[in-house]
Structure 1
């Protein structure tokens, strides 16, 4: 009976430690993921801003290039 009580005591103590470290690791992974997500969104927004500013260049047909004049 004493051995059984000791076994139960150890078993109850172990999962708490494992769960705590597992929970800490999970929280850290979530925190790291959130940091990476924010960095990605920041880079994406910056790229979109750059692409949008580049997009202000007129379309080719707006230049209205006279090819006959270029050949002469």
Structure 2
């Protein structure tokens, strides 16, 4: 049986402080990642501007994100 999720879902762009805390919680650090690491994320609205400050780049048109609603 799966454990209950501890994820928080918010209908807003995270603050820089929230983003930094998420990175630490997820273990996303260039110091600890292997050279072949690849991290992807989905950003709604203008959130891509925040993530760009931390080295993330848009992938379109080379690739597109997808979803399926259940």
Q: Higher Cα Rg: structure 1 or 2?
A: 1
TM-score, normalising length from structure 1?
0.19
Return the structure number with greater relative CO, CA threshold 8 A, min gap 6.
2
Question: TM-score scaled by structure 2?
Answer: 0.19
